[in-house]
Chain A
Amino acid sequence: MKKSLTRRNMLKTSTAAIGAVAGAGLLKGFPAIHAADAPVIRYLGTAVNMGDAVQKRLFDDTGIKVKFIVKTTDEVVKTIFTQPNSFDIVDSEYFSMPKLVPSGNLLGMDTKRIKEWDNVTSAFTKGEVAGKKIGDQGTAPKKVMYLKGAKSKEFASEPTQYVTLIPTVYNADTLGIRPDLIKRPISSWAELLNPEFKGKASILNIPSIGIMDAAMVVEAMGEYKYPDKGNMTKKEIDLTMKIFTEAKKAGQFRAFWSDFNESVNLMASGEVVIQSMWSPAITAVRTKGIPCVYQPLKEGYRAWAAGFGLPSTTKGRQADICYEFINWYLSGWVGAYLNRQGYYSAVIPTAKKYMEAYEWDYWMMGKPATADIMSPEGKKLASKGEVRDGGSYEARMGGVACWNATMDENKYMVRKWNEMIAS
């Protein structure tokens, strides 16, 4: 039967469709507050780990919608300063806290409103993994975690009820290598400046992260031992930059990268065989079928951590919705999603519930895969029998040497970094 599409018919069917959608939503049981009007959260962040699947699941579970404001790490910080009311929730890194907290633009987060607070990993709250202290050079989360009060602009050295960010995701970063092109084992950060890889090395051109990688290299070469890599003196900055400037002039680096995709292209095309890299970039190279290893190194890892913060003007219903979102975020589904990308969830026990036993063994326990390991998008990451680079959670997070940092001499460091790029 053919029905002509008249305006009237069109109206009838579309109204019915809207009704059905609304009805279905209600049946699932929106909380009363949401039924009034579907809440939308403006989410400011780099959103590297937030795929469409997360948004869909969030809406199905809670009826909350998310509108992403995607910016780079540095731009996120800038936005918090310059447009503090342009977002409802921010996904920021802990190393930005020494800059952000004194501005008073962020609200102290109330841990009593976080259901899983007691289960947040000790790497954040105490700087420990499996009861052992891990490296805390740089802006380790525990140093900038607690506030003296909800509206405080000062950090507290002892645990309090109020925190700067509710932790969500973190990882231990290291160098990425192309084992098929290097053809020998790599075990030290010093290899980045090994003349053997002249014209085939790369480092990232984001000063606050690049300087930490540079410091790991300088220390591994035995040139200098920093009292605190994460808080260098002017002299130490000069020394570090001098070593890298000389290497750059000698043609050690093929390119510097500042965008995630650039690092993937450099590695996948073989222009570069050893470089600073982020975990999802390794995954991206591998899903192209090109061998790429996130090489554990004897000097340890450079770690980073991120979490959720709210602008200081948040109150009432808006705060309720944001806390509900955060509680949902920590309730396990996202945690499993993050773990499967090679990151770590801040609340491990809930994430475990959403992972298959073989996935858990591969990602968290460092055991050989008993089945093919898939990414959240369903692409194959590792075959049966393979072991995760760096092994278990305890081995990787336990091997952290330093954290991404904001130094006291930040201004000087950025200038010196620019000089190195210009040299």
Chain B
Amino acid sequence: MLPYFFYNYININMMKFLKLKPSVGLLSIPYSLIFIFFFFIPLILTLIISFWDYNEYSIIPDFIFENYSYIFKDCLNFEKDMCVTFKTYLSTFIFCFITWFFTLIIGFFVAYFLAFYVNSITWQIVLFLLCTIPFWTSNVIRMISWIPLLGRNGLVNDFLLSTGLADAPQEWLLYSGFSIVLAFVHLYTLFMIVPIFNSMMRIDKSIIEAAYDNGANGLQILWNVIIPLCKPGIVIGSIFVITVVMGDFITIGIMGGQQIPSIGKIIYVEMSYLQLPAAAANAVILLALTLLIIWTMTKMIDIRKEL
């Protein structure tokens, strides 16, 4: 019972703070409980364990900074090559940015088409379902299916060779940065489409008409009316895409031929060798950086207000 009272106490004070009716607080209890037990507490444990010591088969309660200092070892020595951590984060950031850019451009225009050019709800639903096609098969099958398309003896290379566009198979098509971005964009554009489409559907058509009546051309309407009103959707979509790409290691692993580093993979390897404190330290840093990015993005726009 104690945790419940404790929880209630916090809850009631939160209610007072947010000036909400107590009934709203009651409704939020189930989700808050799940959130506390399965997210907040594990997160705190991760943070604690990141300061522990470990050996081959156990983790040892302690308070050391070795796990963190190792991550940044040699990172401030600029005479040497860039350290593994910086290199890994740099490559992750680059993937993040490129993926974000392409998913945003493609996602925005797909959503635009769905919202403003498709008039019947039925067709909107049908086309929406088409966008989810990449999720119809399992991750592994999807990844493996790229080989016959992009591989050395794949369709694209066959085409290039037979038309004389290339005189040797193009190896950069697969197991490269290119293939990783391709797979990300292919998968995560949907995460952009959904929130942007949602924002667009809320735009009052009469606002657009008013802009038109006042003599704005199509481009001006897009830039001065639609994009500002879609900002919440864009930010939410961006948060989805960036958090997913930051933590990904399966797509990077398979599409990059396991040759391109990702923080997720480093954490995964450390976990499988029971180096849990080291993995926890890496996870904490990754989390901090991702939160920082999201925080910056939410500074650009107040999501709560816009929703």
Interchain CB contact under 8 A, B84 and A422 = yes
Contact call B151/A256, Cβ cutoff below 8 A: no
Given A78-B271, A258-B253, A421 and B57 contact (CB-CB distance below 8 Å): no
Q: Judge whether B274 and A81 touch: CB under 8 Å.
A: yes
Residue with the greatest number of chain A CB neighbours at <10 A, chosen from B56, B87, B153, B273: B273
A4 at the interface (CB under 8 A from B): no
Stretch with Cβ within 8 A of A (4 or more), from B21-29, B33-41, B236-244, B254-262: B254-262
**Could you say which residues of chain B place their CB within 8 Å of the CB of A286?**
none
- The proximity string for B residues 241-281 relative to A, scoring 1 for CB distances below 8 Å and 0 otherwise, is 00000000000011001110100011001111111000000
Q: Does B58 contact A (CB under 8 A)?
A: yes
Q: How far is the CA of A253 from the CA of B171 in the complex (A)?
A: 12
Q: Which residues of chain A have C-beta atoms less than 8 A from B152's C-beta?
A: 269-271
Supposing A100-B57, A261-B144, A269-B151 touch, asked if A422 and B261 sit within 8 A by C-beta, the answer is: yes
Stretch at the interface among A313-321, A331-339, A411-419: A411-419
In the complex, identify which listed stretch (A69-77, A110-118, A120-128) lies at the interface while the others stay far away: A69-77
Contact across chains for A411 and B258 when beta carbons are under 8 A apart: no
In the complex, which residues of chain A have a beta carbon less than 8 angstroms from the beta carbon of B275? Answer: 411, 414
Q: Shortest CB–CB separation between residue A189 and chain B, in angstroms?
A: 20
Check if B56 sits within 8 Å of A421, measured CB to CB.
no
CA A417 to CA B253, docked complex, whole Å: 15
Per-residue interface assignment for chain A, residues 82 to 113, with 1 indicating a CB less than 8 Å from any chain B CB and 0 otherwise: 00000000000000001110110000000000
Let me know if B134 is at the binding interface, CB within 8 A.
Answer: no
- Those of B197-212 within 8 Å (CB) of chain A: none
A103-B84 contact, Cβ under 8 Å, with A261-B144, A271-B152, A418-B266 = no
Cα distance, A269 to B169, chains bound together (Å): 14
Q: Is B148 close to A, CB under 8 A?
A: yes
Q: How many residues of B contact A (CB 8 A)?
A: 32
* B-chain residues with CB within 8 Å of residue A202 when the two chains form the complex: 257
Evaluate contact between B144 and A418: CB separation under 8 angstroms: no
Across the interface, which residues of A come within 8 angstroms of B70, CB to CB?
415
**Is B196 positioned at the interface, with any CB of A under 8 Å from its CB?**
no
Hey, what's the 0/1 contact readout for A217-251 against B, CB within 8 Å counting as 1?
Answer: 00000000000000000000000000000001000
Query: Contact mask A248-274 → B, CB, 8 Å, 1/0?
Result: 100001111110011001000111000
Residues on the A chain within 8 Å of B95, using CB: none
Contacts known (A102-B57, A421-B261); A262 close to B254, Cβ less than 8 A? yes
The CA of A232 and the CA of B265, in the complex, are separated in Å by 24
Complex interface residues of chain B between 262 and 307 (CB less than 8 A to chain A): 265-266, 269-275
Interface: A207 (CB within 8 A) = yes
Tell me if A205 is interfacial: C-beta within 8 Å of chain B: yes
Judged by a CB distance under 8 angstroms, whether B174 is at the interface is yes
Please state if A421 and B258 are interface contacts (CB–CB under 8 Å). yes
Residue B175 interfacial (CB < 8 Å): yes
Assess whether A248 is in contact with B57, with CB atoms less than 8 Å apart: no
- Report whether A255 and B151 are in contact in the complex, using a CB–CB cutoff of 8 Å: no
For the complex, what is the distance from the CA of A199 to the CA of B171, rounded to whole Å? 8
Question: Least Cβ distance of A290 to chain B in Å?
Answer: 12
Nearest residue (CB) in B for A264 is B144
Question: Shortest beta-carbon distance, A407 to chain B, in Å?
Answer: 10
Residue of A nearest to B255 (CB): A255
A287 contacts chain B at the CB level, 8 A cutoff: no
Q: Is A103 in contact with B269, judged by CB distance below 8 angstroms?
A: no
Chain A residue contacts of B273, Cβ below 8 A: 74, 207, 410-411, 414
Of the candidates A78, A257, A421, which one forms a contact with B265 in the assembled complex, judged by CB atoms under 8 Å apart? A421
**Does B43 touch A at the CB level, under 8 Å?**
no
Q: Is B147 an interface residue (CB 8 A)?
A: yes
- Tell me if B153 and A270 are in contact (CB < 8 A): yes
Question: A410 and B56: CB pair below 8 A?
Answer: yes
Across the interface, do A269 and B147 meet the contact criterion of CB distance under 8 Å? yes
Q: Which of A74, A75, A271, A418 contacts B147 (CB 8 A)?
A: A271
- Contact yes or no, B57 A81, CB < 8 A: yes
Measured between beta carbons, the chain B residues less than 8 angstroms from A99 are 56-57, 274
Given A78-B274, A271-B152, A254 and B257 contact (CB-CB distance below 8 Å): yes
CB pair A256 B257 closer than 8 Å: yes
Chain B: which residue is nearest A200 at the CB level? B152
Q: Shortest CB–CB separation between residue A173 and chain B, in angstroms?
A: 19
Q: Are B258's CB and A418's CB within 8 A?
A: no
How far is the CB of A370 from the nearest CB of chain B, in Å? 36
- Give which listed residue, A103, A258, A406, A419, contacts B258 with CB less than 8 A: A258
Min CB–CB distance A81 → chain B (angstroms): 6
> By the criterion CB–CB under 8 Å, are A422 and B87 in contact?
yes
Asked if B258 and A255 make an inter-chain contact with CB atoms under 8 angstroms apart, the answer reads yes
Contact with B along A386-423 (1 / 0, CB 8 A): 00000000000000000000100011001101110111
- CB pair B258–A256 under 8 Å, yes or no, is yes
List B contacts of A265 (CB < 8 A).
144, 147
Most buried by B among A78, A256, A418, A421: A421
CB of B11 within 8 A of chain A? no
User: How many angstroms from the CA of A410 to the CA of B174 in the assembled complex?
Assistant: 32
- A224 to B: closest C-beta gap in Å: 23
Q: Which residues of A contact B147 (CB under 8 A)?
A: 265, 269, 271
Q: Which of A98, A103, A255, A414 contacts B257 (CB 8 A)?
A: A255
Contacts of B124 in A (CB 8 A): none
B32 surroundings in chain A (CB, below 8 A): none
Minimum CB–CB distance from B223 to chain A (whole Å) comes to 42
Q: Are A72 and B272 in contact (CB under 8 A)?
A: yes
Q: Given the complex of chains A and B, what is the CA–CA distance between A422 and B144 in angstroms?
A: 23
- Report the Cα distance A38→B210, complex, angstroms: 76
- Listed by A's residue number, 9 A-B pairs whose Cβ atoms lie within 8 Å are A81-B58, A99-B57, A254-B171, A254-B257, A261-B140, A269-B147, A269-B151, A270-B153, A411-B56
Q: Which 7 A-B pairs have the closest CB atoms?
A: A255-B257, A256-B258, A74-B272, A422-B261, A103-B57, A422-B84, A205-B258
Chain B residues proximal to chain A, CB less than 8 Å? 56-58, 70, 84, 87-88, 140, 144, 147-148, 151-153, 171, 174-175, 253-254, 257-259, 261, 265-266, 269-275
